[in-house]
Copies of this chain bind each other. A is one copy, B any other.
Amino acid sequence: MPVQGTVAEGFENVRDAFAEVVAAEPGLSAQLAVHVRGRRVVDVWAGDGVSGDSLLALYSSGKGAAHLVVALLVQDGILDLDRPVAHYWPQFAAEGKGELPLRELVGHRAGVIGVDGGMSPDELADDRLLAQRLAGRRPYWRPGSAYGYHALTIGALTGEVVRRASGASLQQVYEQRVRAPYGLDFYLGLPEHAEARYLPVQPLMPEQQAIADRHAPAPDSLMGVAFNLNATPPTDLVAYANTRAVRARGPASGGSVGSARGLATLYAAAISEVGGRPPLLNPGTLSEFTKPHAIGTDLVTGEPDHFLLGFEAQAMRYPELGADAFGHSGAVGAQSFADPSSGVAYSYTRRRFSFGGGGGAPENRRLVAAVMRAARQH
């Protein structure tokens, strides 16, 4: 399967690495886009039916966009990280959550990862409905005492705070402040006219799925609750993303759709001048949102994840990056981030679920290493 697209001079090794990745996995459709200091230097893709303009289900990659919105509102003084969530959203105070500061909510420390008996498909498609359901619930650990990945709820929770403080939904603020001005092909709420470019997500290969099923978490474990496996029936992430109603609303936790090009531009715009606009985040905001906020074991995933504020710490995964590299992976195996110290913005997307793709498919290691080798000599 030939690699298409372009790379800037000095980034030929990234094209080679991408070609090796594609060659190593028959049937893989993938995109890779990279900016350095705001300039696009890699824009390649490969695989049946996929182009640079194809739109893929990118799941939790949307948490990156969601927390970019939160960062902008903090930067504007509309949100204050050290105020209680209940200051903005009184109903959230129920069941011992009244004191929890916004900072801890954004840092996955609230413990509001799901509900006993599971969330409904309607709730998972609609952040406002889900927020209503979650507000009064008991947390799964003492708020603020620990952290765990709020896989399907974080976007609804921070989104409700955004809505209450700004008067617009998180999706609307994202559209107005970020997506539209840069013309990004990365959506929280895919418009009807863009549906033609959406390529449905593909499940794991059957033999991989069989292995995954054997290792499935218990429905009522923290992992099971966080991924809604305690619902009847349990949530199927493939069917979820391939549902038009989900894509239309673009729930901020898991309903994002876009291309590598779109998402790389988002991260470039966060830290660099892009299209004549200054970086979205100033140094103070960047410093706040790229500090570690979640040290130790993630109660949901069991991994030492080292969340930053809403973003996933990337240096733990890719040792070539600076300590303040921030981004977010998506369930399918996608990975995207900005690395402020080198000016690199990176996005890799894939259409088929990756085996072992939680936190970014394994091939990202090789791709990131190649990108950083080229970028440092740039």
Assess whether B146 is in contact with A220, with CB atoms less than 8 Å apart: no
B contact residues around A291 at 8 Å (CB): 111, 139-142
Assess whether A323 is in contact with B140, with CB atoms less than 8 Å apart: yes
Interface digits, A198-230 against B, CB 8 Å rule (1 contact, 0 not)? 000000000000000000011111101100001
Chain A to chain B contacts (Cβ below 8 Å), 14 pairs: A111-B291, A140-B323, A141-B291, A142-B291, A142-B292, A146-B292, A219-B322, A219-B341, A220-B341, A220-B342, A221-B315, A222-B315, A295-B297, A296-B297
User: In whole angstroms, what is the CA distance A297 to B305 when docked?
Assistant: 11
User: In whole angstroms, what is the CA distance A142 to B219 when docked?
Assistant: 35
A interface, how many residues as a size bin?
A: 35 or more
Also in contact, A320 and B218, with CB within 8 A (given A292-B299, A299-B292): yes
Q: A138 at the A/B interface (Cβ < 8 Å)?
A: yes
Q: A321 at the A/B interface (Cβ < 8 Å)?
A: yes
Q: A5 at the A/B interface (Cβ < 8 Å)?
A: no
Q: A377 at the A/B interface (Cβ < 8 Å)?
A: no
User: In whole angstroms, what is the CA distance A116 to B283 when docked?
Assistant: 12
Distance from A272 Cβ to chain B, minimum over Cβ atoms (Å): 16
Assess whether A145 is in contact with B292, with CB atoms less than 8 Å apart: yes
User: In whole angstroms, what is the CA distance A142 to B290 when docked?
Assistant: 10
Assess whether A221 is in contact with B292, with CB atoms less than 8 Å apart: no
Assess whether B222 is in contact with A323, with CB atoms less than 8 Å apart: yes
Interface digits, A306-330 against B, CB 8 Å rule (1 contact, 0 not)? 0000000001000111111000000
B contact residues around A222 at 8 Å (CB): 315, 323
B contact residues around A324 at 8 Å (CB): 220
Interface digits, A176-209 against B, CB 8 Å rule (1 contact, 0 not)? 0000000000000000000000000000000000
Distance from A308 Cβ to chain B, minimum over Cβ atoms (Å): 10
Report which A residues bind B (CB closer than 8 A). Answer: 111, 116, 138-142, 145-146, 217-222, 224-225, 230, 287, 291-293, 295-297, 299, 304, 315, 319-324, 341-342
Also in contact, A296 and B293, with CB within 8 A (given A138-B287, A140-B323, A323-B222): no
Closest to A223 in B: B323
User: In whole angstroms, what is the CA distance A140 to B297 when docked?
Assistant: 20
User: In whole angstroms, what is the CA distance A321 to B224 when docked?
Assistant: 10
Q: Which 8 pairs, one residue from A and one from B, show the smallest C-beta to C-beta distance?
A: A220-B322, A220-B341, A222-B323, A146-B295, A141-B292, A141-B291, A296-B296, A221-B323
Closest to A218 in B: B320
User: In whole angstroms, what is the CA distance A321 to B342 when docked?
Assistant: 45
Which residue from B116, B140, B219, B299 sits with its C-beta under 8 Å from A295?
A: B299
Distance from A78 Cβ to chain B, minimum over Cβ atoms (Å): 20
Distance from A142 Cβ to chain B, minimum over Cβ atoms (Å): 5
User: In whole angstroms, what is the CA distance A142 to B224 when docked?
Assistant: 31
What 4 additional pairs, Cβ within 8 angstroms, besides A145-B292, A218-B315, A295-B299? Answer: A221-B319, A224-B323, A225-B323, A297-B304
